[in-house]
Structure 1
Amino acid sequence: MKRSIRLIADDYGLAPGVSDAILDLIARGRLTGTSCMTCFEEWQQAAVRIKPLAGRAAIGLHLTLTDQSALTADSSLVSAGRLPPLGQFAAPFKGIKAGDVHAELDAQLGRFADTLGRMPDFIDGHQHVHFLPAVRDWLKTRFASAQKPILRGAPVVPLEVGVIAVKTAVIAALARGFDRTMQAAGFPILRPLTGIYDWKRPEDFAPTLRAAVSTMPEDGVFMCHPGHVDAVLEARDPMQKVREVEYAFLASDEFGAVLAQNGAVVRDSVS
């Protein structure tokens, strides 16, 4: 019996080229699904394109609280229509009111539901913001009396030392207690999170994915960021050409061979 693994692409809706690449990989059966950023003006068009995939791929919400445009008016969170850099969320909370965070998240979730006619299959976060205390509180409140979505859980810090171990440890510190407390609140958790590598070294993506295919447990999830570079992406995000590298490997016959060699298939649902 083949092992089924979950490969989730972040950032659907970030730019047309990113959305194009993700839709292509879903059609090829190389992704379980994708999490959507709903805060951009192109979201309506992106939603029309992905809506027919409901039931054939997992469609989630990629909560966005940093470095991009906001849906809500200026507040302790939003300045001149922009969300703050991630560092502004570091303790202490630096004057950002939880209510303003919750309002932005309500707007992003509302836009997802309004355009797709459904709630997300799962929820995760751009730059892992779903691990933040204010977001944990929002999730518990917002879904207190509703069906709870699946959440992306924390990574396991590798035993070896190095840049990736440090990067993983930072994410794990942000996520401390998340899996346990959110599961106690009734949320299903996808864990462990894999797919962490130094995206400034695109050549590390393929070995990272190969290792995950052979070692990732069935309850785990591998995050990735495939895409095609276009002018919109260049204006919005520093993670650019590495997205082309990720796309090329995920679409390749070589990756198909990696799956076959490990007796693995890409699951088409997060549940």
Structure 2
Amino acid sequence: MADPGARSIWLIADDYGFSPGVSETIRTLLETGRLSGTGCMTLFDDWRDHARALAGTDGRFVIGMHLTLTDFPALSTGRTMPDLKRLLANHDAEAIGMEADAQLARFRESFGRDPDFIDGHQHVHFLPPVRQWLAGRFADLPTAKRPWLRGAPTLRAAPALVKAKVIVARLLARGFDAEMRRHGFVVEGPLCGFYDWRRPGAFARAIDLFIDRAPDGSVVMCHPGMVDDVLRRRDVFTDARNEERDALASEDFPQRLESASLRLKRAAS
């Protein structure tokens, strides 16, 4: 008999393709069943190498597109994209649509299909121009053939120190879930996984909170990796990725899920 208290969540690693160490770590966690899937950053020059390795990885997991619209050279123009603050203040719908098209085309070229889901680096998929792009780009597909979307955040499983950050993300996502469902998308969530990654050891404490409090059906984002020179050049979020890797790879992790009657969602077989 099924446990009436059982829950299931999507545990999704963001940033596949960010650096060799990040991608290798995510592939290992996928192969060992510690993740539900990963979201891909397809805009970097070395993307095709990462894509080939992921295509050869065994396991039942979903592969999505982690749309990236900030800080890095745009795939569509080669010009450096604005930081998040400038993007929020002045977003160019045409430029965003062109870049989203370019990153999606790269995904399709690598895997021969659309992503299983779409979300956004720094939550940019919540922006109005991205909502418009999504509604238009997939308008001709039935719901069952569209990527699902990562929905708005919840405060329910958020550590106290990051609740203000979650509230900002909720404001950015205001109306997103209902709007995109009206456009025929499946929206999964709510989103969990926020924690103060600047504090050493914070993820080990936060993962217990996510396991105990994440609502059924949640999408829990994570960012495991192995710090390498490429990651150091591209991001300030470094050492905490090692901590996430170690926590998710530990022998205790599956036992902790089982004790909480929590199951990781998987790709359809």
Q: Is the 8 A contact 2:51 2:110 kept in 1?
A: yes
Shift of 1:162: 4.8
After TM superposition, the score normalised by the length of structure 1 is 0.91
- What are the equivalent positions in structure 2 for 1:1-271 lying under 5 Å apart? 1=2, 3-53=7-57, 56-73=60-77, 81-91=79-89, 93=90, 96-146=91-141, 147-158=145-156, 162-269=160-267
Q: Is the 8 A contact 1:9 1:35 kept in 2?
A: yes
Cα distance in 2 for partners of 1:132, 1:270 equals 29
| Cα deviation 1:29-58 (Å, max 9, x = unaligned) | 100000000000111011101113487210
Counterparts in 2 of 1:183 and 1:55: CA distance versus 1, 3 Å: farther
Q: Is the 8 A contact 1:5 1:213 kept in 2?
A: no
Amino acid in the other structure paired with 1:46: H
Cα distance in 2 for partners of 1:54, 1:170 equals 37
Cα distance in 1 for partners of 2:17, 2:159 equals 35
Counterparts in 2 of 1:270 and 1:87: CA distance versus 1, 3 Å: farther
Q: Gaps spanning 5+ residues in structure 1: where?
A: 75-80
Amino acid in the other structure paired with 2:238: Q
Q: Percent identity?
A: 46
After TM superposition, the score normalised by the length of structure 2 is 0.92
More off after superposition, 214-223 vs 130-139: 214-223
1:78 corresponds to = none
Question: What is the count of residue pairs matched by the alignment?
Answer: 262
Counterparts in 2 of 1:125 and 1:202: CA distance versus 1, 3 Å: farther
Local SS of the residue matching 1:210:
helix
Local SS of the residue matching 2:267:
coil
RMSD: 2.0
Shift of 1:97: 2.4
Local SS of the residue matching 1:71:
coil
